[in-house]
Amino acid sequence: MTVLFDADSLVWASCFRADGDLEQAKKEYDDSFDNILTNLYGRYDIDSVITFNNSSGNFRKLLDNNYKANRKGSELPLILQEIHNYVTEKYNGIKACGVETDDLVARYWNHIAKEDGRDNVIILALDKDYMQLPALIYNYHYNHQCMYDVSEVEALNNFYTQMIVGDTIDNVNYCRGYGKKYAEKLFAECTTHYQFTKKVYGLFKEIYKQKAKLKYIQCYNLLRLRTE
């Protein structure tokens, strides 16, 4: 079984816990990573672990100037890049330009799932966006430490619910005033991609009228992980 580890969150956490101490941040990362893998190896037959971190540039910012605009001015840890470099060198971290780390992980997941079967690859991450994939996803947070086996229908539901509810972290909200309860009711009988699409596009038509198609495509591309 292959593990795809989105290391960005752990890099950030290690920097904050070390309070600017570079060597301590490295130790924080190594110790946390060892604990996570020890837990996984005790439950699953792991053949390899691929680390992803430090991707730069983001095509989504070209689609919408407001994308992640709420993060402007937020202070970055002074040693953040140094820890990213450390992880890249020690753990052979893979990065990309023009997309986010989770896009890169999704791309690898899609390839391995097609080649070896979706039950032979685990995404190890904290990012909720991965729940739009019909994948095995392990949340390593100490309060969770659990595996999610996301079905095709659950993945569709998760993604299209996000299109309605939005993503406050990334500053994406095209359907203001519509929440999870509305989405639950809207999707109560949906089981296919077409059915989910039709329901959401219908809502966009109510909100945006003639601009519905443009807004729908824009929102879709902001939230959808790139698997190709």
Over residues 154-167, the mean pLDDT reads 97
For the domain bounded by 2-149, which CATH number is listed? Answer: 3.40.50.1010
Q: Is residue 171 within 8 Å of 68, Cβ to Cβ? A: yes
Top pLDDT among 9 and 145 is at: 9
- For 93-105, write each residue's pLDDT tens digit: 999 999 999 999 9
The pLDDT score that the predictor gives to residue 63 is 86
For 5-14, write each residue's pLDDT tens digit. Answer: 999 999 999 9
Q: Which residue has the higher pLDDT, 192 or 72?
A: 192
Output the pLDDT for position 76: 83
Residues near 142 by beta carbon (within 8 Å), at least 6 away in sequence: none
- Tell me what the pLDDT averaged over the chain comes to: 94
The whole-number pLDDT of residue 128 equals: 92
pLDDT for 71 equals: 65
Using the predicted structure, report yes or no on whether residue 135 has a pLDDT greater than 90: yes
pLDDT, position 17: 92
pLDDT interval class at 207 (50, 70, 90): very high
- Give the model's pLDDT for residue 73: 58
Q: Is the pLDDT at 58 greater than 90, yes or no?
A: no
What pLDDT sits at residue 133? Answer: 98
Distance CA 24, CA 188 (A): 49
Question: How large is the average pLDDT for residues 176-180?
Answer: 94
Residue ranges covered by each domain of the chain: 2-149, 152-223
Helix or strand (DSSP H, E) at 123: strand 121-124
Across the beta sheet with 48-52, the strand order is 48-52, 2-6, 121-124, 136-139, 146-149
The predicted model gives 203-223 an average pLDDT of: 97
CA distance 91 to 50: 8
pLDDT band per the 50, 70, 90 thresholds, residue 64: confident
Look at residue 25 and tell me whether its pLDDT is greater than 90: yes
